[in-house]
Amino acid sequence: MPIEFAEVPHPGNTQRRTSLPRFGTLDTLGDWLAARQGRSRPTPPGRPRIVVFAADHGVAARGVSARPPEYTSTAVRELREGGTTLGMLAARSGAGVRVVDIAVDNEEHNEFKVRRGSGSIDTEDALTSEQAEKAVDVGKRIADAEVDEGADLLVPVELGAGSSTPAATLVAALTGTEPVAVVGRGSGIDDNTWMRKAAAVRDALRRARPVVTEPLELVRTAGGADLAALAGFLVQAAVRRTPVLLDGLSVCAAALLAEEFAPGARAWWTSAHRSTEPAHALALEHLDLEPLVDLGVAEGSGTGAAAVLPLVSMAAELSGSRDTG
């Protein structure tokens, strides 16, 4: 059964400014936020929410990451206890954090968990058809829950060892790019690990190409539960007229999928930053999104977007004073 989404609304006209811009990107961001809030002038988000989809990837066992597969469970526990860089930045920016175990390879069970780790995409499918549909539906349900609870700015995040390998594969598939052009250093890998990662992306891309025009089949074949859930989350945020701040490679790979599911959804998203991953730059170009900043962040997992969150509030405040002084 194909995934169905409600119609994505258009956010309205973003070209509201009649006076000369004074604050560059902050002016642009303020206008973007106002249009998505349906206001003549924006207000700072009152309840920003960071939603982390945690999952393991079987391909991590191929030695494509600087981190061991058991890293994910440890990081999830630390984040739930208020630790990690993301937890610190979220606290500083006033954002709440929700952690969803969608496919961590541990014995924990919850209503959202699809499976224990996704398949190794270089040799097998990441998910079954049923699991892929469930993961997308989980993303939709969590977006609905967050908006129903008052979230007015959403920051989706991935967390998991080896996640940049399926993300790079999806970007390559959806942009028609060769493997060598999408493989970066991820978690800080050395040359030998980079070669293993490139080989894994090459083999996964070979398996992905026959289904590249079918987004659900694509994420089932060469993605993972976290990427499927992120795609569902991104579309549903647009359906619910809620602005989204995109993070790094994995989230933007999911955004490419989401735009395939529901063309026009990208109008509700903006890119927080540009990472050092080549596939991230390709995804942003394909989505026609200009990142707010370039912090030189090598990893994803929400750190770049969380660091940029205060700029959103600043942009809203400045926008309110643009016709004075």
Reported as a single tens digit per residue, the pLDDT across 238-262 is 999 999 999 999 999 999 999 999 9
- What does the pLDDT read at residue 7? 86
- For residue 14, being part of any structural domain is answered with no
Structural domain containing residue 313: 45-319
Question: What secondary structure letter does DSSP report for 285?
Answer: H
- For residue 24, being part of any structural domain is answered with no
Residue pair 133/1 in contact (Cβ under 8 Å)? The answer is yes
- What does the pLDDT read at residue 27? 87
- What does the pLDDT read at residue 294? 87
Structural domain total, the chain: 1
Instruction: Render pLDDT for 196-227 as a digit per residue (tens, 0 to 9).
Output: 999 999 999 999 999 999 999 999 999 999 99
**Binning pLDDT at 50, 70 and 90, where does residue 321 land?**
low
- For residue 5, being part of any structural domain is answered with no
- What does the pLDDT read at residue 13? 61
- What does the pLDDT read at residue 18? 46
**Binning pLDDT at 50, 70 and 90, where does residue 298 land?**
confident
Please compute the mean of the pLDDT values over residues 61-88 and round it to a whole number.
89
pLDDT surpasses 90 at 105: yes
Which residue is it, tokens 């984040």? 79
Distance between CA atoms of residues 71 and 48, nearest Å: 27
Instruction: Render pLDDT for 138-191 as a digit per residue (tens, 0 to 9).
Output: 999 999 999 999 999 999 999 999 999 999 999 999 999 999 999 988 778 899
Distance between CA atoms of residues 41 and 316, nearest Å: 8
Q: What is the CATH number of the domain that holds 160?
A: 3.40.50.10210
Q: What percent of the chain shows pLDDT beyond 70?
A: 93
pLDDT surpasses 70 at 115: yes
Mean pLDDT in the chain?
91
Please compute the mean of the pLDDT values over residues 45-61 and round it to a whole number.
96
- For residue 26, being part of any structural domain is answered with no
Residue of 183, 185, 151, 189 lying closest to 167 (CA atoms): 183
Q: Which of the pair, 147 or 15, is modelled with greater confidence?
A: 147
- For residue 40, being part of any structural domain is answered with no
pTM for this entry: 0.94
Poorest-confidence range of 131-135, 225-229, 266-270, 300-304?
300-304
Tell me the two tokens of residue 182: 């999408």
- For residue 107, being part of any structural domain is answered with yes
Rounded alpha-carbon distances, angstroms, from residue 282 to 63, 121, 269: 24, 21, 16
Helix (H, G, I), strand (E, B) or coil at 154: strand
Q: What percent of the chain shows pLDDT beyond 90?
A: 75
Residue pair 115/160 in contact (Cβ under 8 Å)? The answer is no
- What does the pLDDT read at residue 271? 94
Which residue is it, tokens 């609304």? 9
- For residue 20, being part of any structural domain is answered with no
pLDDT surpasses 70 at 300: no
- For residue 185, being part of any structural domain is answered with yes
Distance between CA atoms of residues 205 and 220, nearest Å: 13
Q: Buried b / exposed e across 96-126, counting CB within 10 Å, b at 16+?
A: ebbbbbbbbbbeeeeebbbbbbbbbbbeebb
- What does the pLDDT read at residue 200? 96
